[in-house]
Amino acid sequence: MELEHEPLEQLRNAIANSDAQAVDVCLENLSPAESSHAVVNLSEGDQTRLLKLLSDEDAAEIVETLPEAHAAQLLEQMSPGDAAAIVSELGSDDQADMMIRLSDAGAEAILAEMKPADAAETRRLMQYSPETAGGLMVTEYLAYVENLRCEDVVNDMRRNAERYRDFDVQYAYVVSKAGHLRGVLRLRDLLLALSTTRIDEVMLAKPKSVEVDTPLEELERFFDHHQWLGVPVVEANGYLVGIVKRVNVEEAAEERSSRHFLKFMGIMGGEELRTMPLRLRSFRRLSWLSINIVLNIVAASVIAMHQDTLSSVIALAVFLPIISDMSGCSGNQAVAVSMRELSLGLIKPREFWRVFSKEAAVGTINGVVLGLLLGLVAFAWKGNVVLGAVVAIALAMNTLLAAVIGGTVPMLLRGLGQDPALASGPILTTITDMCGFLLVLSLASYCLPWLTV
Amino acid sequence: MELEHEPLEQLRNAIANSDAQAVDVCLENLSPAESSHAVVNLSEGDQTRLLKLLSDEDAAEIVETLPEAHAAQLLEQMSPGDAAAIVSELGSDDQADMMIRLSDAGAEAILAEMKPADAAETRRLMQYSPETAGGLMVTEYLAYVENLRCEDVVNDMRRNAERYRDFDVQYAYVVSKAGHLRGVLRLRDLLLALSTTRIDEVMLAKPKSVEVDTPLEELERFFDHHQWLGVPVVEANGYLVGIVKRVNVEEAAEERSSRHFLKFMGIMGGEELRTMPLRLRSFRRLSWLSINIVLNIVAASVIAMHQDTLSSVIALAVFLPIISDMSGCSGNQAVAVSMRELSLGLIKPREFWRVFSKEAAVGTINGVVLGLLLGLVAFAWKGNVVLGAVVAIALAMNTLLAAVIGGTVPMLLRGLGQDPALASGPILTTITDMCGFLLVLSLASYCLPWLTV
């Protein structure tokens, strides 16, 4: 079915022949999507051989396009020296991100092989949490001391054109001698100013900046309000340490959304790719499933305790999985809305009661509608009004409960500093399953005389 | 619990007094996150009054920070004239996005109130699908005809500095007289060139560009490989029509991820915010739930058909919801990995058998482990080896089935041009529920003599 195996074969052959030029040609001929697809489909050995055949710069470019989990795995398999050469070519933000994903030993081995100054810089960046301004910033930026003249800056840019080539030079930053942020210098202002003007006369003074520990949500809001491409990052004392670019914030937000989705669906421990070893994939998935099966058994024990009722009215067994599944669906909708609103900053963990009442309203309406629907089906099937009523009431009440729990649990988890994506699902389904089973079976045991006619 | 109601109160008062200045002061004092949070928490009437009190430009800025679903709703409530004034101030990409979200009548009314040229431009942008280069591009860019000199360009920039203020001027584009893309002019090259040089001597010739119908996935890959801030968008004949910025691509990818999550969790018809009317929220959620309840009833009918077996071995009723839920969990993991790999471009719909075999391997291991676990619990509970075996075999086989279906259904849906986020879940759970129930109950009916000892 893989129609595309020809370029992949060519790449394999070029690697097998250690033909660096042929490898270059292969990768050039592939579209970006095809080349990334081809690389992950090589054997592990071929992937590391490929990186060694490429120049460090080209290898770094390949590493940057691979999913991070995959790239980290690949770097660990290389010799620390080879890996260090590639890591040194990564952008400063990617460097720290990549090192954090490596094992401690792997990261240390690579850092030991890097130039001391580069390694120190990477270590410094690794200290910031990934979803803060410090973790997202780059350190490739231009900064000039405030007493320079425009011509000095232009001359410096001209002299170092080659070195600044990879910087997104759009703004330069103006700092005090001690390194504190003073202003922003726009290239076009520099372009239009007289060459002997001091840069602090042309700069935009008192520029907005963010502190290193500003969280991702706040950065998103910041860039929503300010149509800028980047913002300087400062220490608490105003010392300039980097630039957060809008694009990195968007990228981090995208990663967070996918991670939420993956976690909620039970993919833990970082993203899973089908190119990873079977044992790892199976183990990670099982670690989640085995928690769930225990919770499921706990919830189902409610049924075990009501076996007598169930054996008197065996029809109830048909409705137990329906009520469990439907409550899960209703609860998941509320979880999704809460997680979305939390990440948009539209609700805060402390607005518990507002979400509670909003969900209670939706849950009541939906519970009544779904309850009536299922109750009618039960009545139509067995011709027993009481059976219909028991099923209807149980589903209605449990839908209300699911909406309220689904809406509020992510907020409580967030308020407690926990990750709502990971735990909301299991908490929700365990509670709603137990309550659902309990509602059906205890209502039924109360109404037993009318159910067994 | 809303500790923050004070600024909200101030804003409400300022609106009630129609005090434009006080409104400005209120919004200025709020952090971006706080102001967005405050606006959505105003009554609907206050929100439209607020937008009318602000200048069109400031109102457009507020509208851009609101979630799109909310902003569209708000614009529909205003008079078309007021809405048109605000829409005209939005960026070209936001304009089309916003209009597409409005009802057809609402969009037409607003377009009718816009300046004819602006309306024509917006209509043109509305024709492109949202997740293509055409849908994501902006039309604010600088283009100069190839025979101009550097000084002409600098003079034009100087003259129109005010008008270009909102453009991200970093590159200018060089076109033929007929408007075909010829090159890219970097500001710094302009800065360093002699003023009488022709721009086509300084420009980067034969620049990379993308066609209007390039899909989002390919754009993501493009920007993964090219560390650029934007890329020109051309018609098939090379005519320059806009610029896709990296940041818009990242933004669209983020939106797609959240939409996947929301859809998978049963939030259809665009995102739901708790500030929306109860009736709409309830109706949208119900439209999803009512499909699910029908599918659930269909799946549970398998149980109904095996009531005799069930009433002979009532303990089985305890395991039915567990098998249903656990298969759902296993299947969801596979769905998540497939959806992630699809959006990363790491798998293509035609690689069906590769995914099938990868999931079959994980599903087999996990099925055996989970089956043994549940089988042991069943045996420990009832002391019946055959009951343990029935439960174990059913869960093992169903876990395998769930992994395979979960992994491949999103690919099939994508291959058929359908949205995997919406339908994968219901298809998965309906099939695995039916098969799970069937496995447990038919195995049990086969083994009935040993189960009822």
pLDDT tens string A208-261 = 999 999 988 889 888 877 777 789 999 999 999 999 988 888 888 888 888 888
Whether B289 and A370 lie within 8 Å, measured CB to CB? yes
Rounded to the nearest 10 degrees, the angle between the axes of helix A316-344 and helix B316-344 is 30
The reply to whether residue A300 touches residue B318, judged by beta carbons under 8 angstroms, is yes
Do residues B129 and B96 make contact, with C-beta atoms less than 8 angstroms apart? no
Query: What phi, psi does A405 have (nearest 5°)?
Result: -65, -45
Question: Which of B310, B373, B377 lies nearest to residue A317, judging by beta carbons?
Answer: B310
Q: Which domains does chain B have, with CATH numbers?
A: 5-132 (1.25.60.10), 143-249 (3.10.580.10), 278-451 (1.10.357.20)
**According to the model, what pLDDT value does residue A435 have?**
95
pTM of the model: 0.81
Residues A305-358 have pLDDT tens digits of: 998 899 888 899 999 999 999 999 999 999 999 988 888 778 887 788 999 999
B contacts of A366 (beta carbons < 8 Å): 282, 285-286, 289
Lowest mean pLDDT segment, chosen from A6-15, A147-156, A283-292: A6-15
3-state secondary structure chain B: CCCCHHHHHHHHHHHHCCCHHHHHHHHHHCCHHHHHHHHHCCCHHHHHHHHHHCCHHHHHHHHHHCCHHHHHHHHHHCCHHHHHHHHHHCCHHHHHHHHHHCCHHHHHHHHHHCCHHHHHHHHHHHCCCCCEHHHHCECCCCEEECCCEHHHHHHHHHHCHHHHCCCCECEEEEECCCCEEEEEEEHHHHHHCCCCCEHHHHCEECCCCEECCCEHHHHHHHHHHCCCCEEEEECCCCEEEEEEEHHHHHHHHHHHHHHHHHHHCCCCCCCCCCCCCHHHHHHHHHHHHHHHHHHHHHHHHHHHCCHHHHHHCCCHHHHHHHHHHHHHHHHHHHHHHHHHHHHHCCCCCCCHHHHHHHHHHHHHHHHHHHHHHHHHHHHHHHCCHHHHHHHHHHHHHHHHHHHHHHHHHHHHHHHCCCCHHHHHHHHHHHHHHHHHHHHHHHHHHHCHHHHCC
Residue A432 in contact with partner chain B when CB distance is under 8 A: no
Confidence check: pLDDT of A3 > 90:
no
Query: Are the Cβ atoms of B321 and A341 closer than 8 angstroms?
Result: no
Element (H, E) at A16: helix A5-16
Q: Is B163 on the interface with A (CB under 8 A)?
A: no
Query: In 3D, which of B371, B421, B360, B376 has the Cα closest to residue B396?
Result: B371
Element (H, E) at A328: helix A316-344
With 90 as the cut, is the pLDDT of residue A158 above it?
no
User: In Å, how far is A432's CA from the nearest CA of chain B?
Assistant: 12
Chain position carrying tokens 């990186």: A51
In angstroms, rounded to a whole number, what is the distance separating the alpha carbons of residues B65 and B72? 12
Pick A250's closest partner by Cβ from B254, B293, B317.
Answer: B254
- Test A366 with B289 for CB contact under 8 angstroms: yes
State the Cα–Cα distance between residues B197 and B183, nearest whole angstrom.
15
> Which chain B residue has its CA at the smallest distance from A293's CA?
B326
Amino acid B3: pLDDT: 44
Residue B139 CB-density burial (10 A; 0-12 exposed, 13-18 middle, 19+ buried):
middle
How many Å separate Cα A280 from the centre of its chain?
Answer: 20
Contact yes or no for A400/A364 (Cβ under 8 A): yes
Using a CB–CB cutoff of 8 Å, tell me whether A166 touches chain B: yes
Are residues A99 and A177 in contact, defined by beta-carbon separation less than 8 angstroms?
A: no
Whole-number percent of chain A with pLDDT over 90 = 43
Residues of B in contact with A31 (CB under 8 A): 218, 221
Give the total residue count for chain A: 453
Answer whether B205 touches A (CB < 8 Å). Answer: no
Q: What is the mean pLDDT of residues A87-111?
A: 87
pLDDT at residue A292 is higher than 80:
yes
Please give the backbone phi and psi of residue B33, each rounded to the nearest 5 degrees, phi first.
-60, -45
3-state secondary structure of B55: coil
Return the structure tokens found at A325.
């599944």
Give the pLDDT confidence score for residue B84 in this predicted structure: 92
In this prediction, residue B413 carries a pLDDT of 92
Residue B354, chain A, CB below 8 Å: the answer is: yes
Q: Are A112 and A196 in contact (CB under 8 A)?
A: no
The letter for the amino acid at B12 is R
Residue B432, SS3 per DSSP: helix
Contact with chain B for residue A144, Cβ under 8 A: no
* Helix then strand then coil, % of chain A, to nearest 5: 70, 10, 25
The pLDDT assigned to A431 comes to 94
pLDDT in tens, A396-427: 999 999 999 999 999 999 888 888 888 898 99
Instruction: List the Cα angle B234/B238/B244 in 5-degree steps.
Output: 15
Q: Coil, strand or helix: which one is B233? A: strand
Residues of B in contact with A436 (CB under 8 A): none
Rounded CA-CA distance A27/A7 in Å is: 9
Tens of pLDDT, residue by residue, chain B (453 residues)? 344 457 788 888 889 998 888 888 888 877 666 777 788 888 888 999 999 999 998 898 888 878 888 888 889 889 999 999 999 888 877 888 888 888 888 899 999 999 998 898 888 888 898 889 999 998 888 899 999 998 898 888 878 877 776 666 568 899 999 999 999 988 778 877 778 889 999 898 988 999 999 988 889 888 877 777 789 999 999 999 999 988 888 888 888 888 888 888 888 877 788 888 888 889 999 989 999 999 999 999 999 999 889 988 889 999 999 999 999 999 999 999 998 888 877 888 778 899 999 999 999 999 999 999 999 999 999 999 999 999 999 999 999 999 999 999 999 998 888 888 888 989 999 999 999 999 999 999 999 888 876
Q: Between chain A and chain B, how many beta carbons pairs sit less than 8 Å apart?
A: 352
pLDDT at A1 over 60: no
- Most distant CA atoms of chain A, gap in Å: 101
pLDDT at B396: 97
| Dist CA B229 CA A229 (whole Å) | 9
Instruction: Transcribe A222-270 into DSSP letters.
Output: HHHHS--SEEEEE-TT-BEEEEEEHHHHHHHHHHHHHHHHHHHTT--SS
Residues of A in contact with B319 (CB under 8 A): 300
- Tell me how far CA of residue B389 lies from CA of A129, A289, B363, B368, in angstroms: 49, 20, 18, 12
Residues 70-89 of A with CB under 8 A from B: none
In the three-class reduction of DSSP (H, G, I as helix; E, B as strand; rest coil), residue A171 is classed as strand
Nearest-Cα residue of chain A relative to residue B429 = A325
Whether residue B369 and residue A290 make contact (CB cut-off 8 A), yes or no, is yes
Q: Which of A222, A257, A336 sits opposite B267 (nearest CB)?
A: A336
Neighbours of B279 (CB within 10 A): 10
Instruction: Please list, residue by residue across A298-311, b when 16 or more beta carbons sit within 10 angstroms of its beta carbon and e when fewer do.
Output: ebbebbbebeebbb
* Cβ atoms A219, A251 nearer than 8 A: no
The token pair at A221 is 């809001």
